[in-house]
Amino acid sequence: MFENLIGLIFLLFSYVIPMYIANSSPVIIHGKTPIDFGKNFKGKRILGNGKSIVGAIAGIFCGTIAGLVFSLIFPSIFIVIPNYLFFAFILSIGAISGDIIKSFFKRRMGIESGKEWIIADQLDFVVGAIALSLIIRIPEWQIIVCLLIFTLIIHRLTNYLAFNLKLKNVPW
């Protein structure tokens, strides 16, 4: 499938753009009402205040719009992924869902909201996006490996930047 490195990079960005935008948008666009409405499960908060309804909707919306913009700039994506707009929507839902599911398990393990859970905090949205996207397309192993390695580095750098810009309370 990949005659050249450019094809691999192009396909990699068709995944990266929607899922990264979906994951980062709630940092900027968030609401006050938490998804869990402040409720507890077995004596522990279900998710925490960091997961808001507005943030989740904004993430899915922004990730999908980012996919639309990507497809307008690179319409050849429809040759590789014919239903790319729906694919971008699914990647966005998966990214937000992966982050929410990770938060649920973080609370069960007694890790407070805002505290770091190494690797899980960096890869939750990628794993969620890839898992949900399987209903449309099975990614090449090279895409999965690149996404995981690339994300470990980029996620740390962008979170540090967001922390320095006062968009996040912690640098992870």
Could you read off the pLDDT of 37-82 as tens digits, one per residue?
A: 999 999 899 998 889 999 999 999 999 999 999 999 999 999 999 9
Confidence (pTM): 0.90
Extended beta strands in 42-143, E state? 44-45
Mean pLDDT of the chain: 93
Residue 47 near residue 15, CB atoms below 8 Å: no
Over 70: is that where the pLDDT of 2 sits? no
Domain-wise residue ranges, the chain: 5-164
Measuring CA to CA, how many Å separate 59 from each of 47, 116, 124, 163?
A: 17, 21, 14, 19
- Indicate the range of 55-64, 77-86, 128-137, 161-170 predicted with least confidence: 161-170
Give the pLDDT score at 1. 47
Per-residue confidence at 148, pLDDT binned at 50, 70, 90?
A: very high
